Structure formats: C-alpha cells, structure tokens
Structure 1
Amino acid sequence: MSIRLTPVAAALSLCFVAGAARAQAERPKQEEMQKVEIKGSAAKYDARRDDTASKTVVNSEEIQKYGDTSVNDVLKRLPGITIGGAPGRNGGEIRMRGLGAGYTQILINGERAPAGFSIESLAPEVIERIEVLRAASAEFSTQSIAGTINIVLKKALKAAQHELKFSQARGGKSSSPSMSLQMSDKRDGMSYSFGGNAWRYMYNRMTPTWEDGADADGVPSYARASTWRDQGRGQGFNLSPRINWALDNGDTVTSQTFLNWNTFASNSHGRTEVEFGQGPDYDRTDNTYSNHNGFGRTDLNWVHKLEEGAKFDLKAAVSTARSTADSLQLAGNHGLPATLYRTVHSDSEEQGFSTQGKYSTPYTFTRAAEGGAEAVEHALSMGWDAGVTQRDDSRVQRDADLPGSSPINSDEGFTAKVTRLALYGQDEWNITPLWSVYTGLRWEGLDTRADGDSIDAVQNRSSVFSPLMQTLIKLPNKKDQVRLALTRTYKAPSTAALIPRKFTSTNNSPTEPDRRGNPNLKPELALGLDVSFEHYWGDGGLLSAAASVRRIENYTHQGLFYEDQRWVSTAINDGRAETRGIELEAKFPASVLMDDAPKLDLRASISRNWSRVDSVPGPDNRLDQQVPLSATLGIDYKTPDGQMSTGSNFSFRNGGLARLSGTQGGYTSVRRDLDVYALWKLDQQNSLRVAVSNLLAQDYTTESLYNDATGSINRTTVASGETQLRITVETRF
C-alpha cells in the first residue's frame, strides 16, 4: 500500500502548489493598487539574527499552518528536532540532536511540566510561540544537555478578537474531532484573553509481533508470533484564561491559568501462536484499561519599573495534578481457563509551589578608544528560581488465587517531596558594534526525599554549578555572522527513576523485564561546545551551518539483571559518553533567486549526529538510540492577493541498530512523513483549511535484542502506517 501511495503523495504535493498558481493565473486582472508598507523598528528585530544568546522562534502562524491537533506534529517539521515512535500514534518522544530520555528539556512558559503531563495534549491554538534554544542560558534550567524547547502560551492581547475553529480528522484506523475558541479584548487599563480547546479521538488497530530465540551455537530454539488488537477512546480539554492590569505607575500585574483534563479507555487482546519450541508464560491476554488525568496551574506576575530602565519581575505559581488508572488483565495458556486475573489501581496527586524573581538593568560605561571615548552598553540581570513539589503515589496490584497460578500481590505506595533552588546572574554587552558577548552563571540544587511502606527511605541530593558563555560576531559585510557557545549542562534523574518500587511484566523475559527505580542515581554532567556560521541575504533568506560536541560524565542507561527468577531493568550510572553533530539549514523566498518569482518560500535542513558510550562495546554503541540522520524539506506558496496559501513538508528520520549494553540492543526503522495543506480565506471572517498528514503511510518497525553466552532473543514489532485527512473551518467574529 505504501509503495502505491508514493507517487500519489508526490502528485498531491505538487498539485496543491500548481493548482493555486493556475487559479491565480486564470483570475481576471484587476486594476493594480499601489501598496505602501511602513515598518518600524520592531519589525526589523529578528531574535535569531540579533540576540547574542542563540534562539530560534516559531510564531503562531507557523504553528497553526497545517491545522495540527498535537504540538508534536508541529515540532517534527522544525530543523534538528525529531519525534520518536510511529507516525500517527501517541507517545512519541521529542528529541533534539537525536536525543530523548530527558536530554532534551521541554518547558511550558519557562517551567517544567509536572510528572505524567503529556505535551501532546497541548493544543497548538493555545500556543503563542515556540522557542528553540540549542545552547543553555542562565535564565532557564540547565537540565538541557541536548537543548531546550520552551512552549509559550498565548500572551498577546488584541482588542475584540474572537476566533472559533472546528476540525475533523479521519484515517483508516482512527478519527479525531476537535473544537477551539480564542477570545481577547481590552478595556481601559485591563485586558484579557481566553483560550479553550476540546478534542476526542478513537482508534482501532492491530499490531503484530514476532519473537525468535537461538541457543549458544546459533541454532533456533523457538519461534512465535503474536497479534495485539487495541481499541481505544480518549477525550479532553485545555483552558487558558489570562488577565493583565496596567497600573498607573507603569507597573503591570498578570494572572495566567492553564487547566488540562483528559480521560482514556481501551480494550486490547493479545494472541500468540507458537511455531516451534517453548511458548510464553501466557499465550493469550485480555486487558481493559482506563485513566483520568487533571492538571491545573495558576501564576501571578508583577513587573515593577524602576529608574533608568531597570525593572523587577516577580512571579509566584501554584499547581496541582491528579491521575488515576485502573486495569484488569486476564491471561491463560493452551486454551485452558485463565490462570491470571490481575487488577491494578494507581492513584497519584501532586501539589507544587514555585517562585521566580529577576532584577534587570541596562548600564553603560565609557572606555578609551581611538579618537576619544566610546560607550559600552550592558544588560545585566540576576534572579532566582525556587519551588517545592509534594507527590503522593499509590499502586495496588492484586492477583486472584486461581488453580495453576502464582499470585504476585503488591502495595507500592510512596510519598515524595522535591525541593529545588536555582540562583543565576547573566550579562550581555556589545564590545564593539559587530561583537557582542553573553556570560552567565547558574547554580541549581535538587533535594528528593521519599518514603513508603514497601520501600526504604530515599534521600538524594545533587547540585550543579553551570558557567555559560555565548558570543556573536557580525562580519563587516553585515550579511554573515559567527556564533560560539561554551556551556555546562546536566540531566537530573526523575523522581520516578529514584523510587525503588517494582513494576512486574506479564511475560517476563530479557526483552520484557520488570522495572525498578534506583535511589543512588547521580546527575549526568556535560561540557558542551557549539559553533555556527549564518549567512543572511535578501528578505528572509538564511543559510546556516552548525557543529556541536558534548562530553557526558555519569552516563545513565538501563541495566538488566536476573534476580529471584525474574529479569529486572533499572537505571544505573555507567561511565562516559560523547555526542557530536552538524546541522545545515536553508530557508529563503524564491524572490531572492529570481526577479518576478511566484510567492514561494523554500526551506530545507539536514542534521547528522554521532555518539559513543565508553562502557558499551562497539560498533553502534550510540547514546540513547540516538537518531543518526534527520532532514526536512518544505515549500509554501501564497497567492498575491493572500486569499489562498498552500504547501507541503517532508520529514526524514533515519533509524538503524544501536547497542545499549554488552547484551542488549535495539533497532528502529526509517521514518518518512509527507504532509500537505491548503488554506482558503473565504472572506474576511471565514477560512477553510485542508491538510493531509503521513501521506506515505509507511509501517514502522522496532526490534528489541538480547544476546549472552547462553543464546539470543530477537523481538520485532510492526506498527502499521496510516494517512489522515483533516478539515478545519475557522471563523472570526
């Protein structure tokens, strides 16, 4: 199916652009009207080009271009960012430099989301911009070895703006309707905005798995095939009200709240056929699962203006999160009555308080220069970031005492408290009109304490001191510039990774082990160097080449042990690792290449990553199954009257074999995504957007490998691809 779709996909991608151009050519010519465009200084500011601390900003128009319902679909099209997992399926991990597993820091309004919160549930309509920081800065946490993605919720307040959207997405195995509402207005010294989004999704799919084993001599010992049929339904909503007061003395007070609620339920059935050799513990399993998640956060921000351009920015926030889950599992073997009847109920609550403060001031001093004195401008700021989070977690597992069963009952509950404090200072100044420097210092401390009936008391303290430096050198031709960054970053173990409670698997094996936390984990520490060259030309043209290297101490990976007749996986610190990469990017309008060109915007990027883990024998001893190669290619077209725009984007992510330890390995197949869209502005208030995602509908294959002196195991899973059509109606009132 995917082979037949390939030419169709290419044709559709071209037809969107060609059709739009033809429609414009056939439109009767109207009397030309002279256009006068006035630009102020704000229009000339480009954060990527002008900021000393490197930053790429993706605006709201780009975020909503394809009518996506998930922020992950937006991120997969950005240069240097990849999304893990199969296309069209939830749960994909966001990666920079091909690295996930906590190496990439994801923030919402500059802060980490609570444990268990899914970034995928964040609707693009409530996002104002996405900031991509490839090198760390002192203002944000330096838990960003690969980089930081900061998702900023809607803040821009416009008078009397109301927008309503209805969307319906449908594929061969899934359906997802959604609705969003955005409102804002200004009255005297008060302004407000409100964003709301609600969605529902349903799916019904089959996932096949094959598992093969061999003895020490390579002779096949068993072979079995499994099918997993999964049906699910989820629904949820986001609410994001914001109020801003402008006080008489020039101060501002802002209240912003974000609420998220979602629920999910599924039924799944697994069946295993044994071709020869030993079968699994259970050759049939039937599962029902449901969960409810709620998250709320509200913050109050006061900005006080001082003399000579200085200001004090203070923010305090409270948050709460609640999650419950229930599952029932029935399992049996050889057609006999079920010998496993397992129920699991989990419940977690999390409350948090945080506060941030920043004092910033510009200052100028003079220095001697040829022909007299010259002024040197500085922008100095310093502040703190502190918070405390209390988490109560319970997990109760009960197995019925059936004939032939071996019940495993457990009460895995704990209470955890995480306290954090960060102090920082940073300075940015222009040494010359063409040379600016940013320096920063940040100290971060974490204290995690946990206790429970089934675990020993846990106390884990860590602190990291991070010196940071970035510099921007603009060459005399004013088109070229060079960036350099030296950073110290880290990755702290998550609370869940530190808690030594155990999660049991149904068919325990080296490729499906039990899981357990490790209270003795240390943070991974990294020294990083980033260098880039940027060339700007024309109106919006950019060519960029960047290289980076990271040296990581206390590298953490999942260790595998055989304990009490069961395989157990737990995270361990294990020596050093190194990652290197290069990124090339180009984007420009066609007008910079030729006169009288159609209004086309072209973009392309390619990223190549390498890594090596010292404690894992090579070859293919890559860090965290790092994506070695990724690329994007896109084109957008807009008619001269602006009534229609269309485009397409192709994303490529390489896979391959990766060794995780001396005995473990993993394989992921190549992922290719082709998306197209078209937007028609029907009138001043109404628009129609049509998008097709994952046109190639390729299957996605993963393998889990185990090999030791006694033999080998290879487990292969295939997630089928699915093309999805999405239609969105947008109206302003």
Structure 2
Amino acid sequence: MSPRLTAVAGALLATFSARAEPPTTATETAPAPLQTVEIKGAATAYDPRRDDTASKIVVSSEEIRRYGDTSVNDVLKRLPGITVSGAAGRSGGEIRMRGLGSGYTQILLNGERAPAGFSIDTLAPDVIERIEIVRAASAEFSTQSIAGTINIVLKKAVRTAQREVKIGAAKSADANNPNASVQLSDKDGRMSYSLGANFWRGTYARESPTIETQVDPLGALRMLRASSQRDDGRWEGMNIAPRINWNLADGDTLTSQTFVNVNRNRYHGYQEIDTQLGSPPRFDVRDMRQTNRNAFGRTDLNWVTQLTGGAKLDVKAGISGMRAEGTWHELDYRAGTLGRDATITSETTEQGFSTQGKYAVPWLADHALALGWDAGATRRDDSRVERDANLPGSVPENTDEGYDAKVNRLALYAQDEWNITPRWSVYAGLRWEGLETTSSGNTFDTVTRTNSVFSPLAQTLYKLPGSRDQLRLALTRTYKAPSAANLVPRRFTSTNNSQTEPDRRGNPDLQPELASGIDASYEHYWGKEGAGALLSAAASMRRISGYTRQGLLLEAGRWIATPVNDGSAVTRSVELEAKFPLEAVLAGAPAVDLRASVSRNWSRVDAVPGPDNRLDQQTPLSATLGADYKSRDGKLTTGASFAFKNGGPVRIDVNQTGYQSVRRDLDVYALWKFNPRYQLRVAVSNLLGQDYVSDSAYLDNSVDNSVGKSVDESGTRRRTSIYPGYTQGRATLEMRF
C-alpha cells in the first residue's frame, strides 16, 4: 500500500469513526445535511485503481461473494487477466497472471506468502475482504512476482454489528458439497471484533480414461494401451478467521489477526490398463488408497502508532505453523497376480516467524517517504517411509527418507511517492531481498544456497489535461526463487516409470530467475463521476535470465524429471478491459453493469526450438465477459459470466511436448432478497460441461541403445487423459440477525 493510499485510508477511517458517534454529538458539531455531503464526497472521490500511482485492481467483497463460490479459485477465474489451470470443479488448479504459473505469479495472504503446504483453493471466499491484483511490482511487497501479485486480504473492517449465517449445498453429476458459514462482528467501546468461520464437506466419484501410444520413427504404431480409472473420495474442512481491534487512548491501534485452516481427504483410485499392442507395463492393475490430514494456522499482532510531524510507524509480527500427515497404500497386479503391496507414510511440519514494519513520513513538498523491512525464518521437516510386502518374485523397495529445510529471509526497502503536479505523480522504490536455504537429509549431503536480489522500481501516472484519461508506465526488476522442494535432491518414484511418467527429483544447483520488465497502460474513464465506466489497454514485456525448465534424463534405466536452468526467455502481453453501466452508453437503460476483458500473451524460450516454445506452458489467450442486473426495488440481482482460456501444443524442450486444454466456463447466478434478514443465492457453474484434456509426449528418433535404451523405446510416446466436466448447481440461504 502506497503512503498516499495509507493517508487516504486513515482519513476514511476517521470519517467512519465520526459516523459511529451518537447522533446528538454529530448534531452539536455540525448541521446534519452538511455532514452527509462531506461524507459522500470523501467516499466517492477516491478510487484506488484510478488515483494510486502504483497500478492495482481492487476486487470488493461484494464481487467476491456474487456467485456464492465455495473456492477462491472460482472467484479468480472471472477476473481480468487471470486464468486458473486444470479441470473445472476439481481442486489444485494453478493461478496464473499473464498466462504464467504460480511460480511466476506471487500469491499473498494478507501481504505474506503462504507456506508451501497450504492450498489456496481451500480458502473460503466468505473470509475475504478484498483481492488486490498488482500488475507491476512495488517495493512494499516481495519482488518474487515476475508475472504479478495477487494479494488476498482477509476481513478486517468492523463498522457495524453483524450476525450472518449461510447454509448451502452444491451438486453435480460427479460430486456434492454441503457447506455452511458464520460471520460475527461487533463493537464494545474502543474494542471491536470479527469472526468468520466456514465449514464444508463433499464426496466425488469420477472417471478419467487414458490412452497411451508409441509410434516408431517410420510412423508405425508399436504400442497401444487403454486405461480406465475411477477415482472416488471425500473431503472436509474448515476456515476460522478471528480478528480483534483495539483503539488505544493515545490514538494508536493494536490488532490481532488469526487464520486457521484444517482439511481432511480420503481417496480411492482403481486403474486397469488394457495393452492392445506392444509390451504391457510393469503392472496392469493398480488399487490405490490415500488419506491426508493437514492443518495450517497463523496469528499476527499489528501495532500502528502516530508520530510527530505526521509520521506513522506500522509494525507487525506473526507466527505460523503447518502440519500434514498422509498414508498411501497401493496394490499392484500383473496378469491377475499381486506383484507389489506398498505402504507409504509421510509427515510434514513447518514453523515460521515473520516481522514486517513500515515507517512513513511526509518530507519535502508533495513527497511521501516510506522505509520498511520484511524478515522471516521458516523450518520445515519432511519424512517419507515406504514399506513393501515381501511377495514371491518381487524385490521390496523399502526406504526411509527424511529431510529438513531452513529458510531465512530479509528484505529492506525504501519508497517515495512524489506529486510533481496535480496531474502527474511518480513512484520510486528500492528493495533488497536475501534468501538463505539449507536442506539436509539422510539420503543426500547438506545443501546451502544463498541468493540476493536488488530491485529498483519506478512507476508514474499522468492524467491528461482536459479529459479523464490517464497514462501509466512502470519499470521493474523481479525474480523467481527456487522452492525448497526443487532444491532437495530427493527422488519420488513412479510405479510404471516411462518418459511420460518419470520419477521426480530436485536440483541443489538451481539458481533464481531474474527478470527486467516494462509495463505501460492507457485508461479512459467516462460517464458520471463514480460510475466506474472504464476502457483500458495495457502492454508489458519481461526479459528473463536463468530460465528454469523441467529436464528429463535417463539414469540407471529409469527416467527422471528434474528442474534445470537453461538460458533466457522473453514474454509479452497485451490486455484490453472494459467495464461500464449500460446507461453510460444508452440513456434510460436498465440497471445492467457490463464487463469484458481480453488478454493475449506471447513468449519464447531461447534454449528450446520452436514452434510453440512457450514459457511455463503459457496460456496464449484468455477472455472474460460478464453482465449483472439489479431490479429497481433491489430485491433481485442476477448475472452471468463467461471465461475463456485458449490452449494448444507446447514445446517443453527438444524432446518433450505437451498440450494445454481449452477451457470455457459459463456461470450464472441469481440473488433474491426476501427481506433485510433473509436472502437466497442460486448459481449454476460450468454450464457447458466441457471436458479437460491432459496430453504429454516424448519424441526420440534415435536407435542408440548404448545408454540402456532399447530400440522399442524410439519414436514418439504419447499419453492422453480426459477428465469429464459436469455442470454444478449451488444454492445458499443467507440469514442476518
């Protein structure tokens, strides 16, 4: 948050506090009509998207709750410039800006990175106050944001007493999901509190057929396998987010914010592989069962004090913890005979401490200076034990692996926002980040990696005279740090090892990717002041060095996938967005709000031959289209949203290719307010019921078996899976007391 935004937020808070005083006091202080006019002006005059020098889109809680979603991923897929990978209605999708994955897109929770074991799609939208989409990096947030930053801010403000209960259910042909939530908030003198709690559970049963082929260099089909797999299971969990605010006597504020997330999953998968041509796999029947339990908690204490000369000090300290336990039991058969009985147990714990602070002070004329720090220490312990039954004719693969990782980080930053003229403002920031990662285990030597990045940042906003149009420009230096898991040289094996189902292992020599970027945009506002009518066009480019790709190698007769640094890459994007009420273009039109966006992305990886050598399997094209209608009496609100994500072939390296499935999401909703206390929200998602296709291929036209490869492995090996998509209906009864 820029110093200017902090000052405005402080003014708004003071305004709301004034409104909370007893009516008699307000009447004695100033005439009521004059006070009402001043409040309205203060509330509508400031728009963070339009007025902040640093480019940012803020999504309000009303927009977040509109469709009654149970996962934050479903909210994000409708936002301009954001895509979510994977099949509709299934968890684990990757959130992407500019078509680039979460390694390039920074996901923050209250301004901080969530731990590696926390899945953001388990976060319930009801506990979110707003979502901030930051396209160009600023010094206050980590610059691990080559594609951009999505900051999810949990509910904070407590203005009026609230007691709300929601009871809902979602149903599709392959899953059902009952859920409930509670929101409480109130004030007592100088203290206020809020509590958000969400509970859910669900079951699913899904089919996902797979075809695996191999074609030799002459084009003859050498192998054909058809797999049928049925997955079923259940999940349940909850979010709890209590918050307490104290307004201290000297004007200081003290805030306690806690967030707890608990999940439990049970899974059963049964796969049969029918080899119609060629040699069969090691096992042709797999019976898999898994249970997972994980819990994540974080608590922060935030102190804000006003200093002399208009300065302000904002200090926060927090602790976090995560624990995950899992058991995997697999029975593998060959020609009806049990050939493997394996049980794998895993346990992961993580503890962390972090502290952030910002000192903001006005200095010189029209300058706002801020200095700050961001530091933290995290320790992660991971154990994995595999025990195989001693069956006739089999060689048990008993392993007992464990490792622990320590990550220490420190960031120092300075930023200044300068209002050169009433129409021209400039933001300049400087951030230094240092990371030290140490990993040790019983199967590899201790690995220590220290990296630091120095990031100069600049942004400017110019409002054109004689109009409401404006121009933005940003220059950034960002990076992508390798995760601790990608640095640990520990192998995770695949049952039927092949080029398209390889083992996986980290790379201790992995280095961070560095990116220099430029962003430019033009924004046109029109219509009534505060109506939100907007047309914008934005373009960006990132030049990346130390690009990380997924390498594939053959070692001791087994295929292993491992990340490697390989040269440089370039990515470019163009985004167009429009949002406006229909009455802005058609006088007397119904109360309909329209919105649309189109994003086109290009990228090139120098070390990978084309065509289709896209960075991180980048989404080349995405678009959104939506409309919302509100009746004149305010009882009925309804709307629809269409999100499109293009796909196509992707060249991963010289020998590997993949395919990105096209995704089309059509959702509709309706909200009926019976009275101020009761309302019903109904939504239907994935109306088109589109299937999701996963495809990967490995090409090798050589016949050299000197490295342990047989002639039968030459040619093109392809694996294609289909995940059926189903329409889902949701209904939620919302009650206020």
Q: Same fold (TM over 0.5)?
A: yes
Question: Residue 615 of structure 2 corresponds to which residue in structure 1?
Answer: 623
Question: Residue 487 of structure 1 corresponds to which residue in structure 2?
Answer: 476
Aligned equivalent of 2:716, options 701, 712, 718? 712
Could you list the per-position Cα deviations for residues 78-111 of structure 1 after superposition, in whole angstroms to 9, with x for gaps in the alignment?
0000000011111100000000040000000000
Runs of 4+ residues over 4 Å off in structure 1: 35-38
**1:74 alignment partner, SS class:** helix
- In the aligned structure 2, how far is the partner of 1:179 from the partner of 1:205? 25
Aligned equivalent of 1:644, options 636, 641, 645? 636
* Shift, 1:288, TM fit: 0.4
* Shift, 1:465, TM fit: 0.3
Question: Residue 414 of structure 1 corresponds to which residue in structure 2?
Answer: 403
Q: Which residues of 2 match residues 311-326 of structure 1 at below 5 A? A: 311-326=312-327
- In the aligned structure 1, how far is the partner of 2:678 from the partner of 2:364? 51
* Shift, 1:37, TM fit: 11
**Residue 402 (str. 1) matches residue 391 (str. 2):** yes
* Shift, 1:265, TM fit: 0.4
- In the aligned structure 1, how far is the partner of 2:217 from the partner of 2:554? 18
Q: Which residues of 2 match residues 42-53 of structure 1 at below 5 A? A: 42-53=43-54
**Residue 696 (str. 1) matches residue 700 (str. 2):** no
Question: Residue 85 of structure 2 corresponds to which residue in structure 1?
Answer: 84
Q: Is residue 421–residue 446 contact of structure 1 (8 Å, CA) maintained in 2?
A: yes
**Residue 526 (str. 1) matches residue 518 (str. 2):** no
Question: Residue 614 of structure 1 corresponds to which residue in structure 2?
Answer: 606
**2:294 alignment partner, SS class:** strand
**1:465 alignment partner, SS class:** strand
Aligned equivalent of 2:446, options 452, 457, 462? 457
Could you list the per-position Cα deviations for residues 217-265 of structure 1 after superposition, in whole angstroms to 9, with x for gaps in the alignment?
2211110100110001000001100000001110000001001101000
- In the aligned structure 2, how far is the partner of 1:75 from the partner of 1:406? 47
- In the aligned structure 2, how far is the partner of 1:415 from the partner of 1:693? 42
**1:39 alignment partner, SS class:** helix
Q: 1:37 to 1:671 in 2, by over 3 A?
A: farther
**Residue 605 (str. 1) matches residue 597 (str. 2):** yes
Aligned equivalent of 2:540, options 542, 548, 558? 548
- In the aligned structure 1, how far is the partner of 2:310 from the partner of 2:74? 40
**Residue 351 (str. 1) matches residue 351 (str. 2):** yes
**Residue 682 (str. 1) matches residue 674 (str. 2):** yes
Question: Residue 586 of structure 2 corresponds to which residue in structure 1?
Answer: 594
Could you list the per-position Cα deviations for residues 117-158 of structure 1 after superposition, in whole angstroms to 9, with x for gaps in the alignment?
010110000000000000000000000000000000000113
- In the aligned structure 1, how far is the partner of 2:257 from the partner of 2:304? 14
Could you list the per-position Cα deviations for residues 50-77 of structure 1 after superposition, in whole angstroms to 9, with x for gaps in the alignment?
0000000000000000000000000000
Instruction: Give 1:319's aligned amino acid.
Output: S
**Residue 660 (str. 1) matches residue 652 (str. 2):** yes
- In the aligned structure 1, how far is the partner of 2:400 from the partner of 2:489? 13
* Shift, 1:280, TM fit: 1.1
Instruction: Give 2:69's aligned amino acid.
Output: D
Question: Residue 537 of structure 1 corresponds to which residue in structure 2?
Answer: 526
Q: Is residue 181–residue 195 contact of structure 1 (8 Å, CA) maintained in 2?
A: yes
Q: Is residue 694–residue 723 contact of structure 1 (8 Å, CA) maintained in 2?
A: yes
Instruction: Give 2:723's aligned amino acid.
Output: A
**2:40 alignment partner, SS class:** coil
Q: Which residues of 2 match residues 433-444 of structure 1 at below 5 A? A: 433-444=422-433
* Shift, 1:159, TM fit: 2.7
**1:99 alignment partner, SS class:** coil
* Shift, 1:620, TM fit: 0.4
Aligned equivalent of 2:726, options 710, 722, 726? 722
Could you list the per-position Cα deviations for residues 600-639 of structure 1 after superposition, in whole angstroms to 9, with x for gaps in the alignment?
0001000000000000000000001100000000000000
Question: Residue 73 of structure 2 corresponds to which residue in structure 1?
Answer: 72
Q: Which residues of 2 match residues 259-338 of structure 1 at below 5 A? A: 259-335=260-336, 337-338=337-338
- In the aligned structure 2, how far is the partner of 1:77 from the partner of 1:113? 22
- In the aligned structure 1, how far is the partner of 2:265 from the partner of 2:232? 11
Q: 1:502 to 1:266 in 2, by over 3 A?
A: same
- In the aligned structure 1, how far is the partner of 2:172 from the partner of 2:189? 48
Question: Residue 176 of structure 1 corresponds to which residue in structure 2?
Answer: 177
- In the aligned structure 1, how far is the partner of 2:62 from the partner of 2:120? 20
- In the aligned structure 2, how far is the partner of 1:214 from the partner of 1:333? 24
Instruction: Give 1:460's aligned amino acid.
Output: R
**Residue 223 (str. 1) matches residue 238 (str. 2):** no
**1:456 alignment partner, SS class:** coil
Unaligned runs of 5+ in 1: 1-34, 366-376
* Shift, 1:363, TM fit: 2.5
* Shift, 1:267, TM fit: 0.8
Instruction: Give 2:311's aligned amino acid.
Output: A
Instruction: Give 2:419's aligned amino acid.
Output: N
* Shift, 1:540, TM fit: 1.3
Report which stretch shifted further, 625-634 or 159-168: 159-168
Q: Is residue 550–residue 578 contact of structure 1 (8 Å, CA) maintained in 2?
A: yes
Q: Which residues of 2 match residues 246-261 of structure 1 at below 5 A? A: 246-261=247-262
**Residue 445 (str. 1) matches residue 434 (str. 2):** yes
Question: Residue 423 of structure 1 corresponds to which residue in structure 2?
Answer: 412
Instruction: Give 1:462's aligned amino acid.
Output: N
Instruction: Give 1:90's aligned amino acid.
Output: S
Question: Residue 233 of structure 2 corresponds to which residue in structure 1?
Answer: 232
Could you list the per-position Cα deviations for residues 277-323 of structure 1 after superposition, in whole angstroms to 9, with x for gaps in the alignment?
11111110000000000011001000010122210011000011100
- In the aligned structure 2, how far is the partner of 1:419 from the partner of 1:578? 30
Instruction: Give 1:722's aligned amino acid.
Output: Y
Q: Which residues of 2 match residues 113-152 of structure 1 at below 5 A? A: 113-152=114-153
- In the aligned structure 1, how far is the partner of 2:39 from the partner of 2:184? 28
Q: Is residue 101–residue 624 contact of structure 1 (8 Å, CA) maintained in 2?
A: no
Could you list the per-position Cα deviations for residues 460-514 of structure 1 after superposition, in whole angstroms to 9, with x for gaps in the alignment?
1100000000000100123100000000000000011111111000100000000
**1:249 alignment partner, SS class:** coil
Question: Residue 393 of structure 1 corresponds to which residue in structure 2?
Answer: 382
Question: Residue 557 of structure 2 corresponds to which residue in structure 1?
Answer: 565
Question: Residue 363 of structure 1 corresponds to which residue in structure 2?
Answer: 363
Instruction: Give 1:543's aligned amino acid.
Output: L
* Shift, 1:400, TM fit: 1.8
- In the aligned structure 2, how far is the partner of 1:53 from the partner of 1:37? 27
- In the aligned structure 2, how far is the partner of 1:406 from the partner of 1:132? 52
Question: Residue 17 of structure 1 corresponds to which residue in structure 2?
Answer: none
Instruction: Give 2:324's aligned amino acid.
Output: S
* Shift, 1:579, TM fit: 0.3
Equivalent residues, number: 687
Question: Residue 378 of structure 1 corresponds to which residue in structure 2?
Answer: 367
Superposition CA RMSD, Å = 1.1
- In the aligned structure 1, how far is the partner of 2:102 from the partner of 2:161? 43
* Shift, 1:406, TM fit: 3.0
- In the aligned structure 2, how far is the partner of 1:36 from the partner of 1:526? 48
- In the aligned structure 1, how far is the partner of 2:387 from the partner of 2:488? 21
- In the aligned structure 2, how far is the partner of 1:203 from the partner of 1:231? 5
Instruction: Give 1:421's aligned amino acid.
Output: L
Q: Is residue 412–residue 502 contact of structure 1 (8 Å, CA) maintained in 2?
A: no
Q: Is residue 331–residue 339 contact of structure 1 (8 Å, CA) maintained in 2?
A: yes
Instruction: Give 2:147's aligned amino acid.
Output: A
- In the aligned structure 1, how far is the partner of 2:561 from the partner of 2:436? 25
Report which stretch shifted further, 135-144 or 700-709: 700-709
**1:226 alignment partner, SS class:** strand
* Shift, 1:38, TM fit: 6.7
Could you list the per-position Cα deviations for residues 390-426 of structure 1 after superposition, in whole angstroms to 9, with x for gaps in the alignment?
1111001122221222322222201111000000000
* Shift, 1:660, TM fit: 0.3
- In the aligned structure 1, how far is the partner of 2:556 from the partner of 2:613? 30
* Shift, 1:456, TM fit: 1.1
- In the aligned structure 2, how far is the partner of 1:651 from the partner of 1:330? 41
* Shift, 1:711, TM fit: 1.1
**2:208 alignment partner, SS class:** strand
